[in-house]
Amino acid sequence: MTRGQILLAAAAECVLLMLVAMQWWQVRADRRDLLARARPAGAAGDGRRLRRELDRLARRTAPGRRLGDRLDRARLPLTVGEAVLVTALATGLVYWLVLLTLNQVFAVAAAVLTPLGGLRMTTLFIRRRAAAMVDQLPALTAALAGATAAGLSLSSALQLAADDLPDPVAEEIRAALQSMSVGFGTEAALRETARRLPSRELDLLVTTLTIQARSGGNLVRALRRLTDTLENRRDSRREAQSMTAGSTSTAYLMIIFGFVIVAVLQRAFPGSLDRAMGSTLGAVAIGGACGLFALGVVLVRRTTRVPL
């Protein structure tokens, strides 16, 4: 078999293994849910108990605590140890694929960037949850306005909204209510929610509820005005995202096309990349090209990014 056939077969095997792993994870999650429903309240399996204990020990360290917080905010079904293991396996796989496609220098660079890419992925999941919650904030403020107009307290209105609204807003409200039930103040619980899913709209809602709770103003009127404001901001953000979607996709395609071209040249002229990087001028040219690609992606992302 030629090198290209070996590389194609390896890539096909990697894709197949990923599909099998995803299917296994889904079956395992369904089985775990069924066992949890059949198990009496308070009981837990040895495997789940050991998994929680190892995760608790890992979160005692400062890096483990920060990583665990990011996993919780992103709602990824992984413990700290599992996340580190997945990152290590992904780093090894990326290193091997880039080594087969390009050369040793790019393979080492890809292995170094893979953990950073994993952190970036958790940030994207957090931003996605924050965006989903921002889209549901007008419904939340409307529900709170209706409940408080009926004479309910703020905590009762939050509980009613958590029962009626879908996730992620209902999940975050339940977490805030749980914090309030164990002694945290309303302001502290809401501030923690705003920290977990940072956005301007959520900060505005938390500030409004805090000020009204302190000053004793007309909370119903403030929430109804806030509902109109949040709906207008949501519509404006959606319009901006649709207008910049093409430019955002271009930012990622720039990287893909660049490495595809280099891989095709390396395949057509074996060893050409090593010979080019063997000279000072070639190394500077390749490094400058990579730097320009990275700069272009950063500039496009900063220009087209719609802040939450």
pLDDT per position as a tens digit, 187-211 = 888 888 888 888 888 888 888 888 8
What does the alpha-carbon distance between residue 100 and residue 263 come to, in Å, rounded to a whole number? Answer: 10
For residue range 294-305, what is the model confidence (pLDDT) as tens digits? 887 788 777 777
* pLDDT range class, residue 44, cuts 50, 70, 90: very low
Phi-psi region of 197 (alpha: psi -120 to 50; beta: other; left: phi over 0): beta
- Poorest-confidence range of 200-204, 241-245, 280-284? 241-245
Give pLDDT tens digits for 45-64.
555 777 777 788 888 888 88
Cβ proximity of 308 and 201 under 8 Å? yes
**What is this structure's pTM?**
0.74
Which two structure tokens, joined as six digits, stand for 159?
């509980």
Calculate the average pLDDT of the chain: 81
With cut-offs at 50, 70 and 90, classify the pLDDT of residue 6: low
> 132-235 maps to which CATH number?
1.20.81.30
The pLDDT assigned to 10 comes to: 63
